[in-house]
């Protein structure tokens, strides 16, 4: 019963958040995902208590949903945002390409501009040409989180790669 409830809550959350999100990048609509999860866990908890379950069963369902939704979130972001998967798609035609050709076909500037557009549309960056980080609570939270989670220089592996490249040691 608990196993089935966890699965149903997770499936319900995915269905609800994807329906409401209409294919948008998931990290720009986290409130929808968290709200959908809370709603589905509450519904599952209600059904379990109606069948004689107690607070421990409800807690077990809600807590177990967290890692399952974490997995979904990771999978969903990976599928939509993975540059590696996008590059793999470029090579599907079978034509061998050197790194320079891959960079041209991938359109690095176009993809970067698209990410900035998404951040501007979601209020993290200003709409002007400078595209500065906006002075809002959610931007401040994201910046603090980024510094805490990633370190002061931003994502560590990216920073390391750029450092190696700057030192002339980053060629594949």
Tell me if 53 contacts other proteins by CB under 8 A: yes
Please pick, from the candidates 11, 30, 34, 162, the single residue that binds other proteins as defined by CB under 8 A: 162
Tell me if 138 contacts other proteins by CB under 8 A: no
Binding to other proteins (CB under 8 A) within 59-98 occurs at: 59-60, 63-64, 66-89, 91-92, 94-98
* Shortest Å distance, C-beta 148 to other proteins: 9
Tell me if 49 contacts other proteins by CB under 8 A: no
Please pick, from the candidates 18, 35, 39, 43, the single residue that binds other proteins as defined by CB under 8 A: 18
> Which CB atom, from 31 or from 128, has the smaller least distance to other proteins?
128
Which has the closest alpha carbon to 32: 45, 44, 14, 46?
14
Torsion of CA 88, 90, 91, 94, to 10 degrees: 140
Tell me if 143 contacts other proteins by CB under 8 A: yes
**What burial class does residue 92 get, using C-beta atoms within 10 Å of its C-beta: 0-12 exposed, 13-18 middle, 19+ buried?**
exposed
* Shortest Å distance, C-beta 36 to other proteins: 15
**Could you identify the residue written with the tokens 């490249």?**
165
Say if residues 139 and 124 touch (Cβ distance below 8 Å).
yes
Tell me if 39 contacts other proteins by CB under 8 A: no
Other C-beta atoms lying within 10 Å of the C-beta of residue 42: 14
């Amino acid at each position: 019963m608990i196993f089935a409830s966890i699965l149903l809550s997770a499936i319900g959350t995915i269905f609800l958040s994807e329906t409401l999100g209409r294919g948008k990048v998931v990290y720009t609509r986290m409130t929808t995902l968290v709200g959908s999860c809370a709603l589905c866990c509450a519904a599952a908890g209600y059904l379990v208590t109606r069948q004689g379950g107690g607070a421990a069963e409800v807690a077990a369902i809600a807590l177990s949903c967290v890692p399952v939704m974490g997995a979904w979130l990771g999978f969903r972001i990976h599928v939509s945002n993975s540059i590696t998967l996008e590059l793999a798609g470029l090579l599907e035609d079978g034509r061998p390409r050197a790194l320079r050709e891959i960079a041209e076909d991938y359109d690095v500037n176009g993809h970067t501009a698209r990410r900035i557009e998404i951040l501007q549309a979601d209020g993290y960056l200003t709409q002007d040409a400078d595209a500065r980080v906006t002075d809002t609570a959610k931007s401040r939270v994201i910046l603090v989180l980024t510094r805490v989670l990633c370190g002061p220089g931003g994502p560590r592996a990216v920073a390391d790669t750029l450092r190696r490249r700057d030192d002339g040691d980053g060629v594949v």
